[in-house]
A and B are shown apart, each in its own frame.
Chain A
Amino acid sequence: MIILAAFKIAFTGLRRNLLRSLLTMLGIIFGVAAVIAVVSLGNGAKAQVEKQISTLGQNVVMVMSGAASRGGFRMAFGTSGTLTLGDFDSIRKEVEGVAGVSPEVRSFAQVAVGNQNANPQIMGVGSDYADIRTWRFASGDNFTEADVRNANKVALIGKTTATQLFGGEDPVGQVLRIKNAPFRIVGLLSPKGVNMMGSDQDDVVLVPYTSAMKRLTGDTTFRSLLVQAVEPTLLTSVQAQITELLRQRHRIQPGRDDDFLVRTQQEISEFATETSRVLTLLLGGVAGVSLVVGGIGIMNIMLVSVTERTREIGLRLAVGARGRDILLQFLIEALTLSVVGGLLGIGLGWWASDWLSGMMQSPTLIAANSVALAFGSAAMIGIVFGFFPAMKASQLDPIEALRYE
């Protein structure tokens, strides 16, 4: 009953001093809104990156030529390929827990069908490639191991390139010319969207790596290999085995740096989300400070309120309120301020993250736990910062309080 009455008194007071209450709550409102907006922005960015990374494939280990830059994962591939056909074969045969291996031989070339032109990425890959990257076929099927062995002129085409060259028509069975060499299209790939670097993964033509090396690039070594582990739990084991194997094969002395780089999909994803995580933490800290400042505002106004209402407190004590009743009443008033502020902040934060998402063209994700966290901290702050004024009120002497002018 006292609690109910205290809430009623708190709300009446809030309405009576509407402007003052609103100004008091401002810190909490902005603090909560900032927490929600920042966390949702961070969550959205993280989800997007994770989604893009998942387009890489499943249980993927990337092997790249070139030295690792200190402490990190290097996005640029090595200038010269240090990975040989022999490396490729031994990974395939000697490493345990490998489901598939494929090189990636990248080049750009103009492709043409009739008088239609396109400039997709031409990628020389193995027959495992589509499986590693969980790339499905919209039409047709993968090329075979025999196609790879014989360096046949067959191709898989990405959705974007197919639309450019063939419009809505099914390209399977058609012939396209790459550097004037005719390639028969055997499969149309399902769309995958943009990758982490923001380039369109569907603007692509996949050909057997043998054909690419022989007819298009003239390379004899690889710059990158994709390896698929059988299970996610085997990723690190596969990574370790490949590292060991390649160090042996490349005769790298103990203590010397690798001339290649092996990264699991997990590491790539962790690295990619690391920056957004740090940023989220940082901005979240700023938001937290603003919550504390809001709490101090509440404490300030509660102290004013206790002084203003000294006679009321005296009267309540005189008719039989215990110190605890007064403490509870003022705590509830502080709590009401901070909770109402918190609710307004949630509304504002929701709106702000919507607006930010539009502004920055990046999705936001309002997580229930960030709302709960922000709201919970607002309530906590009300109680913590309301405690001192409430304590002060509860310790007043009834006679002195009644006499207070």
Chain B
Amino acid sequence: MVPVIQLVDFRKSYITGEVEVQAVRGVTLTINPGEFVAIMGSSGSGKSTLMNTIGCLDRPTGGKYLLDGIDVGSLNRDELADLRNQKIGFVFQGFNLLARTTAVENVELPMLYRRGGQRFNNPRERALKSLERVGLGKRTDHTPSQLSGGQQQRVAIARALVNEPTLLLADEPTGNLDSRTSIEIMDIFQELNAAGMTLVMVTHELDIASYSTRMVVMRDGRVVTDRPVEQRLNAKQELARLKQEQAAVKLA
């Protein structure tokens, strides 16, 4: 089995003025198809930097990164763009939707850049289906400013899924959401994972990480912990429990 992600002694440093900032200092990590990995760690520990590299948005300054067995370091700008378009769905930290553009048009965006024979002939229909899949069947013609944070996050996820990637990356997908909406997002992720998709997400919250199958903790640009999740939570059960509790509060 070819791993989806294979990082070997991955390093990334930024040069700001005279100072060299080492954001990631040697990470070796293998993620296999069907895994749901949560990356944790304090602020500034290099999580986003790692995610950007996994997402082919950035190139390592040291070490090696293989995506589906392909050495990303050897690809040029256009090849990286095609890889992002076809294999990777990225949910950005902060939703990064196009302002003044409707939800469905935002979701259509990645399909615009599919090439040649891979083009879908019914992008609008696919976009609507993708929105429905993440629970946003209505309000598809609303612009981001007319949507709540949770709804915007759903649009961002629908956009990441619309090109049917093999890998979904999410940088703090629940960062600005209340706990109930967060669990709803985890529900979507667990469903996708159950259907065979590989997921990697960054999170600060331990309980959100408990919905994944594997937890990786970073500190100062290095992986300090990497272990399977033992008491995995099920989003559907948690939602049902939450509903009961709220009902109880109302009764009392």
Contacts and interface: CB of A to CB of B under 8 A. Distances in A.
Q: Interface residue tally of chain B, by bracket?
A: 20 to 34
Interface stretch (B27-35, B81-89, B133-141): B81-89
Interface stretch (B107-115, B188-196, B202-210, B229-237): B107-115
B113 A321 contact: yes
A316 interface: yes
B144 to A, nearest CB: 12
Nearest to A395: B77
B92 A323 contact: no
Interface string A117-128: 000000000000
A50 interface: no
Contacts of B119: 1
B84 A320 contact: yes
B52 interface: yes
Interface of A: 1-2, 5, 16, 311-312, 315-325, 398-399, 402
Contacts of A316: 109, 113
B112 A1 contact: yes
B98 A317 contact: no
Contact of B98 (A2, A315, A325, A402): A315
Interface string B108-128: 011011100001000000000
Contacts of A319: 84-85, 90, 109-110, 113, 159
Contacts of A16: 100
B96 A320 contact: no
27 contacts: A2-B113, A5-B112, A16-B100, A315-B98, A315-B109, A316-B109, A316-B113, A317-B81, A318-B57, A318-B84, A318-B92, A318-B96, A319-B84, A319-B85, A319-B90, A319-B109, A319-B159, A320-B86, A320-B113, A321-B81, A321-B85, A322-B77, A322-B78, A322-B113, A325-B113, A402-B57, A402-B96
A369 to B, nearest CB: 38
Contacts of B163: 320
Contacts, number: 57
Nearest to A16: B100
A1 B92 CA distance: 26
Nearest to B114: A320
A323 B78 contact: yes
A399 B52 contact: yes
Nearest to A2: B112
Given A402-B57, A402-B92, 7 more contacts: A1-B119, A5-B112, A318-B90, A319-B84, A319-B113, A399-B52, A399-B57
A313 to B, nearest CB: 11
B96 A311 contact: yes
A398 B90 CA distance: 13
Contacts of B57: 318, 398-399, 402
A2 B123 CA distance: 13
Contacts of A318: 55, 57, 84, 90, 92, 96
Contacts of B110: 319-320
Contacts of B77: 322-323
A399 B81 CA distance: 12
A402 B58 CA distance: 12
Given A323-B77, A399-B58, A312 B112 contact: no
Interface in B21-78: 52, 55, 57-58, 77-78
